Amino acid sequence: MTTPPLEPLPGAGTAPTPPSLFDAVGGREGVRRVVERFYALVEADALLRPIFPADLSAGREKQVLFFEQWLGGEPHYSERYGHPRLRRRHFPFVIDERAAGRWLALFTRAMREHDVPESAVARILEGLGPLAHHMVNANDDIPREPLGDARLT
């Protein structure tokens, strides 16, 4: 009996597979450049700067790991810190709608300044837009104590 020919991959020979968002941002180095630029913009922003801790370095490194993972790279963030549970992790910071809008504007600017293709920016914002507004907690009665490097499940 002869072996049947392998099925072609779905879509093979029709349309090119779009690059993953991680690749579109430029892989690990690209993610790092965007997050570092985002942090420089936060540092200079009168609305967001006071919400962030005095020392930005540890948070910046966590964001690099998080975005690598979120965009389809290696899951180093969760290996170290457990489940992202982002809304919970943001409880210590009082975030209103205006701050969420500014956060998104600065992240978008950082991506554009690093030449992330517009098609990828649009796909990323489809996810980040709702996520940023989900972080709004200014009027919520929630625990505000710092979580630090806690591993969440």
Q: How many binding residues for ligand HEM (CB under 6 A)?
A: 23
CB of 27 to ligand HEM, least distance (A): 18
| Contact criterion met (CB below 8 Å) for 100 and 135 | yes
Between 40 and 131, CB nearer to ligand HEM: 131
28, burial (CB in 10 Å: exposed 0-12, middle 13-18, buried 19+) = middle
| Contact criterion met (CB below 8 Å) for 138 and 93 | no
Taking CB under 6 A as the binding criterion, the range among 5-13, 28-36, 55-63, 112-120 that sits at the site for ligand HEM is 55-63
- Angle CA(37)–CA(121)–CA(71) in degrees, nearest 5? 80
Taking CB under 6 A as the binding criterion, the range among 16-24, 33-41, 48-56, 110-118 that sits at the site for ligand HEM is 48-56
Torsion 113-117-118-123 (CA) sign = negative
By CB under 6 A, the residues from 66 to 105 that bind ligand HEM are 66, 81, 86, 89-90, 93, 95, 99-100, 103
CB of 135 to ligand HEM, least distance (A): 4
| Contact criterion met (CB below 8 Å) for 69 and 35 | no
Amino acid at 19: P
Q: Does 109 bind ligand HEM (CB under 6 A)?
A: no
Which residues sit at the interface with ligand HEM, rule CB under 6 A? 48, 51-53, 56, 58-59, 62-63, 66, 81, 86, 89-90, 93, 95, 99-100, 103, 128, 131-132, 135
